[in-house]
Amino acid sequence: MADVILKNVRKNYDPAVLKDTLRNIELNIKEGEFIVFVGPSGCGKSTLLRMIAGLEDITSGELSIGGKYMNDVPPVERNVGMVFQSYALYPHMNVYENMAFGLKLKKMDKETIHKRVSRAAEILGLVPLLERKPKALSGGQRQRVAIGRSIVQQPSVFLFDEPLSNLDAALRVKMRIEIAKLHKELNSTIIYVTHDQVEAMTLADKIVVLSPLKESAESNLEQYGSPLDLYHNPSNKFVAGFIGSPKMNFLDGILVEIGLDKCKIKLNSGDIVTACVDARRGKVGDKVELGIRPEHLVPVDHPDAVGRLSGQVQVAEHLGAESFVYMEVDGKDFTVKAASEIPVDTGDTLEVGVPAQACYLFDSTEQAFPRTAKYNRT
């Protein structure tokens, strides 16, 4: 069990040729927390994990685990366990030998090894498979062996590099729940990399959102906070667009009225929308972007429907319990998640209500204005 602290960490694979992959990463991970690194591909999340593991060196900055400076410490002495995306099981050893390999290298006595491996096998339900070679295991079982191999080492920090991305959808949900249970049971620090924001939202105590580094940007650490915090109060447009499924809708407009806890925005389509956002940092006439989550839109006769938007329906998907309507508003894609069936089809015009509490607002540099309310559709 240990804290993991990153200070001003930067990674550059080849300074002569390439620009930075990661810049100015500041993280303070507390003991026992489940942290998820999330971001689109190429944002450096796996690189960051590998730097914590010691598989990549740190270009500049400082990494400490359990209060010890770890920049130049080889992987084995960092007391971390890692589960690879590809599982990386040793093909010529059976399940037992796979898990015992690290302990044997550390010259532990046979009894301790046996005890630890048996315990891990019990936790993960691998007892009947101990004699099998990896090629005789299914994907989910291989994944469990990979997890078991790191458990037996009793590391202070577990590192998971997209562990579920090779599994099929049903197995992924099952393993996700098992990993959550495992965290409760072991109560150790876990750092988990994924590009799947559902995994991130369901597993994490705190989420780290990373973006592909722009040349001018100070850092590609976009936000670090609890899942609901990221959902309700994203610090910028990138996080707002990345967290939530389907993606948040964005519409361009200008500020026309600024109040204490409310403001009015005139959209390019001409509609005026009231938003529960503290926009006092901006001024009237500023260009802004309005964000609305698909699941927050309501029918026009709903009591919360303060503003209105209308658009042309492109495609409507009826899933039974809910419906997705993809339409075009002011020349931009706009998604509506309706609670039940709504009788629309391609080519129809649909009008939806926009609750003032459901609005997010971003300035011209894509930074968010503070929201003054949260919204949950009832």
Partner 1 sequence: MAIVQPKSIKYRLLATHLVMWAFIAVIAFPLVMVIAISFRTGNFAVGDIIPTNPTLDHWKLALGMSIQNADGSITPPPFPVLRWLWNSIKVAGISAGLIVVLSTTCAYAFARLRFQGKDLILKGMLIFQMFPAVLALVAIYALFDKIGDYIPWLGLNTHGGLILAYMGGIALHVWTIKGYFETIDPSLEEAASIDGATPWQAFRLILLPLSVPILAVVFILAFIAAITEVPMASILLSDVNNLTLAVGAQQYLYPQNYLWGDFAAAAVMSGLPITIVFLLAQRWLVGGLTAGGVKG
Sites of contact with partner 1 (CB under 8 A) = 53-55, 74-76, 80-82, 84-92, 101-102, 105-106, 133-137, 139, 142, 149-150, 153, 166
Instruction: Determine contact, residues 295/232, Cβ cutoff 8 Å.
Output: no
**Beta carbon nearer to partner 1, 91 or 128:** 91
Q: Give min distance, CB of 85 to partner 1, in A.
A: 8
Residue 189 CB, nearest approach to partner 1 (Å): 16
Q: How far is the CB of 113 from partner 1 (least distance, A)?
A: 13
Q: Output 165 or 219, the one with its CB closest to partner 1.
A: 165
Question: Cβ of residue 88: shortest distance to partner 1, in angstroms?
Answer: 4
Across the strands, what pairs with 194? 38
Nearer to partner 1, 161 or 363 (CB): 161
- Nearer of residues 102 and 246 to partner 1, judged by Cβ: 102
For the CB of residue 94, give the shortest distance to partner 1 in the complex, in Å. Answer: 11
User: 3-state SS of the chain?
Assistant: CCCEEEEEEEECCCCCCCCCCEEEEEEEECCCCEEEEECCCCCCHHHHHHHHHCCCCCCEEEEEECCEECCCCCHHHHCEEEECCCCCCCCCCCHHHHHHHHHHHCCCCHHHHHHHHHHHHHHHCCHHHCCCCHHHCCHHHHHHHHHHHHHCCCCCEEEEECCCCCCCHHHHHHHHHHHHHHHHHHCCEEEEEECCHHHHHHHCCEEEEECCCCCCCCCCEEEEECHHHHHHCCCEHHHHHHCCCCCCEEEEEEEEEECCCCEEEEECCCCEEEECECCCCCCCCCEEEEEECHHHCECCCCCCEEEEEEEEEEEEEECCCCEEEEEEECCEEEEEEECCCCCCCCCCEEEEEEEHHHEEEECCCCEECCECCCCCCC
Bridge partners (DSSP) listed for residue 37: 193, 208
Between 107 and 283, CB nearer to partner 1? 107
The distance of closest approach from Cβ of residue 55 to partner 1 in the complex, given in angstroms and rounded to an integer, is 5
| Residue with smaller CB distance to partner 1, 105 or 319 | 105
Q: Which CB sits closer to partner 1, 142 or 293? A: 142
Report the nearest approach of partner 1 to the CB of residue 193 (Å).
14
Nearest in space to 76 (alpha carbons), one of 97, 57, 96, 55: 55
The nearest distance, CB 163 to partner 1, in angstroms, is 11
Which residue's CB is nearer to partner 1, number 88 or number 305? 88
Q: Of 13 and 214, which CB lies nearer to partner 1 in the complex structure?
A: 13
Shortest spacing between CB 123 and partner 1, in angstroms:
19
